[in-house]
Chains A and B, each alone.
Chain A
């Protein structure tokens, strides 16, 4: 192939930039010219994406990273899901677990059997059928070396980690594989006169960086994708009104929990992400309904331990670029768009963009059909994640504050309305191919937020009540016993990946 790329430049050295550099170095070697990453030492990185979802393990695997080593280097912990407090109503609590709920009998889905019993007054919780939920509630995680058991296939996990340590970790990885790091500021982006493609980046030391492909990881401002290429931005504030966050780390206090917590407040929600050495916290809020000072005060009043610094303020506009791939530029991370970290999808969306880039890797001709396909797939994914997040806001019964009153009554995207109607009528989940959040995720939120279907699947009546009863009882018992046999989260960390411990420690 003669038209091969002769160089790739990445602008921005946060999580997105170093993830891109690491995986490209791993996949491409030196075949497509030098991979250079330009980061300005003056621009701080934003670490909102400290919690992840299970596909992160595929990314680690693609890099060939050892999980324990990675956890040790990033103060990482295990995450089994997210606890949502005060979302459906004040005082309410539910869990969105990773993995899937147990399996049903014959052709009937488990949740339909459960709905049938529920209608008969059986009070059990749907969460009792998720191994992840039960383990998380007990502060336990599955041991790496554990014997395979009957429920292996329903369990899943991800990580919490320190995002700046993660970026450092990936930086070491990428530099060891030939990525050149340039600590400079980009002063000017030079476009080719003939077609508006990016030709070169002019740096503050008077040098210029040329490349065939540019990856914009410069954050919200979108130095290349927006400031240079004017791609345009879709604003979703009318569906996701939060536009600021205030973040602070605090000392750990109680036992190490293997899950993220999201607590709804009057004007937004607060995250709690337990790491080995501290707890990450933040309050995502809507500035129309609360002042920055009040938000910071709310955050500081709701910490487990002592705050370790002054709270940091972040501003954002929820939405995405009209195209993630424009000409010879691909935008990743915040340069591409922003979705609040309610379902910990930020790092995943970066990863997914990179996977799609590998699947549609360009050459210098930059065939427009490649970019069109990249945008079709990535936009579809981004928009569906958006819908999933909107559901949390929409499906609330809270009326205690203007934010929640607004959300209860707002219009929602058509596809989300369709999904909600289907679930409301028969407890069924409309599924799409290649969707990040699958049936069990949607069920967790629908049921967790207290949406009740008008009826259950009529085929659930095919099974005698006794067999459903005994099936569900057995399933629940098996899940509980399995969860109780797991080691504690802290014990797990000590055994495998305590930060600062030796390789075999």
Chain B
């Protein structure tokens, strides 16, 4: 048995992110091995209304062992096959980034090269017609994918839209049942140890304090963290700002009455100074506006949101802070920042980054001596992961031809990171997407957005000419037909929710 084992962890910040971290750690570290406390210091008004999970969430949920039906019922969730982007590359543009490949495995190359070849002869139709998830989104249909790899109904995956507070409550109950102690208090001060600058204790607003071997900061950019939170000065660990690439730094959100059938996707519509979201939940629609404060006033942004609500507002708008950037080091001494939730929410990477952060922490779990090698490895991987996601997000802003407002003119002109520039150049030349290390979004996601934002390669892969044109044409027609027929057999998303996941009226919401 190791003598200098970490035997206590304190998590700062409740909400879905904090409780997700607590639940996962509690599930894997038994309470007698490591005591976990969560200081729930985030006021509800600073929390988003919805949180969205990518398909990677299934892995986590399997680990926790919460049944999907129960989870969805308790968190007022809907299924998510992708995101619909409206007006991004130009006003009137409309595309989906959905979870699953474009087309299916065909001959030696990625599918889209053959599609590009057909396009040169005016054949092949719309690329989106070869994505089963996108076709299902358009028709509002949903079913869980099949395991049978022969069926086109295996060619997609899905995530969830959760009611944030309800999900947090559900995870909180789970975490507490697994021994996590929740403390509902504000933080007044974070005290550092004089000698080595490690965090010594967290002072709460009732005068008590919490001590732990390891601290995990899940407060995000909610603005609740007291100024004395460690980092900036003492550790020379300043935030690296990305707002020149990801200009949206504020958001307002409010719940609207649910009306009609909830679609199995969320929607992101570009606006003159940012973008508006609509996330379907069982009991309401989360409607919000992420905007660049340099380009629009808070009042104007609020007016824009209120003028375009999908239905009656159910509450006053909440004001949220976004903070596009990252800490220089995610892990410093005995302080770990899980700040994924502060990135631009455009591709819903918040929960995902909490999840990968925790997984990585477990893979590099420290001892009280905190080996610098483990910390360095954690930071190396986490920084790469964040920068890859950053590039993916920037692409949405950069690849635009809109010139109707100052924000979009700025974005079209801005310089971008070299890694993203290399990707775009390679794609433009021959339709290829180079993947770098720690890339969460794979080729299919990059292609959805590159094509969706109306970038077109000058040519396709020359090897696509090896297959006979008749063979390609026939295979494409066959696949399109198979997708069309298969989607027609799927039930409507609203019906699936109704039958399987409906939150009981007396439920937690």
Which residues of chain A have a CB within 8 Å of any CB of chain B? Answer: 1, 3-5, 27-29, 31-32, 107, 358-363, 365, 367, 369-370, 372-373, 376-377, 418, 421-422, 424-426, 428, 430, 432-434, 455-459, 461-462
Q: Which among B296-304, B401-409, B458-466 touches the partner chain?
A: B458-466
Minimum CB–CB distance from B66 to chain A (whole Å) comes to 18
**B459 — which chain A residues lie within 8 A by C-beta?**
1, 3, 363, 365
**A424 — which chain B residues lie within 8 A by C-beta?**
373
Contacts of B432-451 to chain A: CB distance below 8 A? 432, 434-439
- B108 with A27: CB separation less than 8 A: yes
Of the A-B pairs whose beta carbons lie under 8 Å apart in the complex, a sample of 5, sorted by A's number, is A1-B120, A1-B464, A370-B429, A433-B436, A458-B6
Please indicate which of the listed interface residues B33, B374, B439, B463 has the most CB atoms of chain A within 10 Å of its own CB.
B463
**A1 — which chain B residues lie within 8 A by C-beta?**
117, 120, 459-460, 462, 464-465
Minimum CB–CB distance from B401 to chain A (whole Å) comes to 22
A5 to B422 alpha-carbon distance, docked (Å): 24
**A422 — which chain B residues lie within 8 A by C-beta?**
373-374, 376-377
Minimum CB–CB distance from A426 to chain B (whole Å) comes to 6
A373 to B463 alpha-carbon distance, docked (Å): 17
User: Which residue in B365, B432, B438 is a CB contact (below 8 Å) of A459?
Assistant: B365
- A107 with B462: CB separation less than 8 A: no
Contact with A along B28-60 (1 / 0, CB 8 A): 111001000000000000000000000000000
* B509 within 8 A of partner (CB): no
**B373 — which chain A residues lie within 8 A by C-beta?**
421-422, 424-426
- B438 with A433: CB separation less than 8 A: yes
The number of chain B residues with a CB under 8 A from chain A is 43
* B477 within 8 A of partner (CB): no
**B461 — which chain A residues lie within 8 A by C-beta?**
361
**A4 — which chain B residues lie within 8 A by C-beta?**
462, 465
- B371 with A28: CB separation less than 8 A: no
User: Which residue in B1, B422, B463 is a CB contact (below 8 Å) of A358?
Assistant: B463
- A361 with B33: CB separation less than 8 A: no
A367 to B427 alpha-carbon distance, docked (Å): 11
Please indicate which of the listed interface residues A363, A376, A458, A462 has the most CB atoms of chain B within 10 Å of its own CB.
A458
**B380 — which chain A residues lie within 8 A by C-beta?**
430
A455 to B3 alpha-carbon distance, docked (Å): 11
Minimum CB–CB distance from A118 to chain B (whole Å) comes to 14
Q: Which 6 A-B pairs have the closest CB atoms?
A: A367-B429, A425-B373, A425-B371, A433-B437, A422-B373, A369-B425
Name which residue of chain A comes closest to B368, CB basis. A458
Name which residue of chain B comes closest to A28, CB basis. B466
A sample of 19 more A-B contacts (CB under 8 A), given A369-B429, A373-B432, A422-B377, is: A1-B462, A3-B459, A3-B462, A27-B108, A27-B466, A107-B28, A358-B463, A361-B462, A373-B422, A377-B434, A418-B376, A422-B374, A425-B373, A425-B374, A426-B373, A458-B366, A459-B29, A459-B365, A461-B5
**A369 — which chain B residues lie within 8 A by C-beta?**
422, 425-426, 429
User: Which residue in A358, A367, A462 is a CB contact (below 8 Å) of B430?
Assistant: A367
A461 to B4 alpha-carbon distance, docked (Å): 12
A455 and B465 in contact (CB under 8 A), knowing A369-B425, A422-B373, A461-B1? no
**B393 — which chain A residues lie within 8 A by C-beta?**
none
- B465 with A31: CB separation less than 8 A: yes
* B414 within 8 A of partner (CB): no
* B311 within 8 A of partner (CB): no
**A362 — which chain B residues lie within 8 A by C-beta?**
462
A32 to B463 alpha-carbon distance, docked (Å): 9
Minimum CB–CB distance from A359 to chain B (whole Å) comes to 8
A457 to B429 alpha-carbon distance, docked (Å): 46
Please indicate which of the listed interface residues A29, A369, A370 has the most CB atoms of chain B within 10 Å of its own CB.
A369
Minimum CB–CB distance from B376 to chain A (whole Å) comes to 8
A458 to B34 alpha-carbon distance, docked (Å): 11
Minimum CB–CB distance from B36 to chain A (whole Å) comes to 14
Name which residue of chain A comes closest to B372, CB basis. A425
A425 to B377 alpha-carbon distance, docked (Å): 12
A28 and B365 in contact (CB under 8 A), knowing A458-B5, A461-B33? no
A28 to B438 alpha-carbon distance, docked (Å): 33
A370 and B462 in contact (CB under 8 A), knowing A458-B366, A459-B362? no
* B147 within 8 A of partner (CB): no
* B146 within 8 A of partner (CB): no
Minimum CB–CB distance from B385 to chain A (whole Å) comes to 11
A4 to B460 alpha-carbon distance, docked (Å): 11
A418 to B437 alpha-carbon distance, docked (Å): 17
**B462 — which chain A residues lie within 8 A by C-beta?**
1, 3-5, 32, 361-363
**B365 — which chain A residues lie within 8 A by C-beta?**
457-459
- A462 with B426: CB separation less than 8 A: no
Minimum CB–CB distance from B46 to chain A (whole Å) comes to 33
**B362 — which chain A residues lie within 8 A by C-beta?**
107, 459
Minimum CB–CB distance from B307 to chain A (whole Å) comes to 44
A360 to B431 alpha-carbon distance, docked (Å): 10
A343 to B357 alpha-carbon distance, docked (Å): 35
Name which residue of chain A comes closest to B466, CB basis. A31
Minimum CB–CB distance from A462 to chain B (whole Å) comes to 6
A455 to B365 alpha-carbon distance, docked (Å): 12
* B367 within 8 A of partner (CB): yes
A376 to B28 alpha-carbon distance, docked (Å): 39
* B234 within 8 A of partner (CB): no
* B183 within 8 A of partner (CB): no
**A376 — which chain B residues lie within 8 A by C-beta?**
434
- A373 with B465: CB separation less than 8 A: no
**A29 — which chain B residues lie within 8 A by C-beta?**
466
**B434 — which chain A residues lie within 8 A by C-beta?**
373, 376-377
Please indicate which of the listed interface residues B28, B108, B459 has the most CB atoms of chain A within 10 Å of its own CB.
B459
* B364 within 8 A of partner (CB): yes
* B474 within 8 A of partner (CB): no
Contact with A along B369-392 (1 / 0, CB 8 A): 001011011001000000000000
**B108 — which chain A residues lie within 8 A by C-beta?**
27, 358
* B2 within 8 A of partner (CB): yes
**A370 — which chain B residues lie within 8 A by C-beta?**
426, 429-430, 432
Contacts of B463-505 to chain A: CB distance below 8 A? 463-466
A433 to B465 alpha-carbon distance, docked (Å): 30
A432 and B374 in contact (CB under 8 A), knowing A1-B462, A461-B1, A461-B5? no
A361 to B459 alpha-carbon distance, docked (Å): 12
A379 to B339 alpha-carbon distance, docked (Å): 34
A113 to B175 alpha-carbon distance, docked (Å): 27
Minimum CB–CB distance from B121 to chain A (whole Å) comes to 11
**B426 — which chain A residues lie within 8 A by C-beta?**
369-370, 373
A462 and B30 in contact (CB under 8 A), knowing A4-B465, A422-B374, A426-B371? yes
- B374 with A428: CB separation less than 8 A: yes
Minimum CB–CB distance from A367 to chain B (whole Å) comes to 4
Minimum CB–CB distance from B440 to chain A (whole Å) comes to 11
